[in-house]
Structure 1
Amino acid sequence: MGYYPKTLERLVLELGKLPGIGEKSAQRLAFHIINLSEEEIASLSEALVLAKSKIVLCKKCFNITDKDICDICENPKRDQETICVVQSSRDIFAIEKAREYNGLYHVLHGAISPLDGIGPQDIKARELLLRIGENEIKEVIMATNATVEGEATAMYLGNLISPLGVKVTRLAKGIPIGADLEYTDEITLIKAFEGRSKI
């Protein structure tokens, strides 16, 4: 990239570190940013600094928030007897968009992965067990990713929670709406057959 001024090169390099941003996208973003007005740049910079300094983890569910307890945990209209366990805060946003679930959440901030050196002590598993013990929870829904790590995490937590007399369920897995069977992988097909229901 020696044909760019050094300052622009650095901007492209930093933007390219963002997830999902390749070199071309980083260049487009950099050119867009340098064409912004001083006020727009100041506003963007302020938003970045403010987000980094103000975003914290909810003291109950470990979702991201800008206060001690997030809006979901504070909402008395939510089902207080159900907890949906997810790997990241992004998962909560995806579930909330569907407008189907009305319980509470617990964010693990990862999944058990021995190959990556991530054990139960590295995710919010202990905090989940404490939360279940301190509240009248009747169901825990495992909504971890359908990966080896996500499945291992769900199984591990399920084995710890079940003896407490709490119902442990797992989100159904199967063929996505609009998908063609010929392009569906074997594991998804197996799970779809296992989770079939009466029509």
Structure 2
Amino acid sequence: MYEGAVQELIDELGRLPGIGPKSAQRIAFHILEADAEDMKRLAQVISVVKERVKFCTVCFNVSESETCSICRDERRGDDIICVVEESKDVIAIERSRAFTGRYHVLGGAINPINGIGPEQLHIRELIARLGDERITEIILATDPNLEGEATATYLVRTLRPLGIKISRLASGLPVGGDLEYADEVTLARAIEGRRNTAQPAPAAPLVRTAPPSQEPVSAS
């Protein structure tokens, strides 16, 4: 344990996702040893981000305006909405250049252990958007892990009665991985090969074989 401000800095850094105690301590001492002007700029950027950046009132992507640049882009199609967990997933899919529709950011995934249920996500707002008759398909692009699959399953069950085509990203994305780490080619193939979740895959035909003949064995 360190004294005063140093320990407070380590504690605050340790609250960030993916930062353990050792990483927090290493970052804290880097801040202490770094040039003061560099750290002032970092603190200023953090302050500006918290002041300026908000969430799009339509799709909940990060934006410095009331609506994000994607929602304002009239060249994009209005018939397909791609549903993702976080804003970073929007950037990942945009890098693939395989999708030209609209997005809806849920703000996370269903995770009962962390107290995140459907009520904490932007699902009600998604359902409200589906009142637009131009929308013909929903692509579920949640992460291919336990929480993402649970979220996708819930959305399929909730949205299916609305009669809109629901598809899921196709194979190509590694199970247990995050969209932000997928390369452009993998994401492009996943989007182009998405499957319809409303129609279960046909069962394999049952092939019946005749039992072997039971001929008497003659005594020699």
What TM-score comes out, normalization by structure 1 length?
0.76
Aligned to 1:134, the other structure's residue is in SS state coil
Structure number with bigger Rg: 2
Paired AA for residue 78 in structure 1? R
Alpha-carbon distance in 1 for matches of 2:4, 2:115: 38
Alpha-carbon distance in 1 for matches of 2:21, 2:113: 30
1:16-31 to structure 2, matched below 5 A, reads 16-31=14-29
- 1:88 is aligned, of 86, 89, 96, to 86
Which residue in the other structure is 1:140 paired with? 138
Alpha-carbon distance in 2 for matches of 1:113, 1:79: 32
Q: Per-residue CA shift, 1:139-160, capped at 9, x if unaligned?
A: 1000112234322322332233
Bigger proportion of residues as helix: 1
* Farther off after superposition, 165-174 or 58-67: 165-174
Which residue in the other structure is 1:43 paired with? 41
Stretches of structure 1 that go unaligned for 5 or more consecutive residues are 177-194
**Is 1:108 paired with 2:101?**
no
Give the percent of matched residue pairs that are identical in Structure 1 and Structure 2. 46
Alpha-carbon distance in 2 for matches of 1:129, 1:165: 12
Change (3 A) 1:135 1:22: same
Which residue in the other structure is 1:33 paired with? 31
Alpha-carbon distance in 2 for matches of 1:88, 1:18: 16
Alpha-carbon distance in 1 for matches of 2:18, 2:112: 26
Which residue in the other structure is 1:15 paired with? 13
Alpha-carbon distance in 2 for matches of 1:21, 1:114: 22
What TM-score comes out, normalization by structure 2 length?
0.69
The structural deviation recorded for 1:75 is 1.2
Aligned to 1:80, the other structure's residue is in SS state coil
The structural deviation recorded for 1:45 is 1.1
The structural deviation recorded for 1:62 is 0.7
Stretches of structure 2 that go unaligned for 5 or more consecutive residues are 175-194, 196-220
Paired AA for residue 90 in structure 1? K
Change (3 A) 1:61 1:175: closer
Change (3 A) 1:38 1:19: same
The structural deviation recorded for 1:115 is 5.5
- 1:120 is aligned, of 98, 118, 125, to 118
CA RMSD in angstroms, aligned pairs only: 2.3
Alpha-carbon distance in 2 for matches of 1:114, 1:29: 31
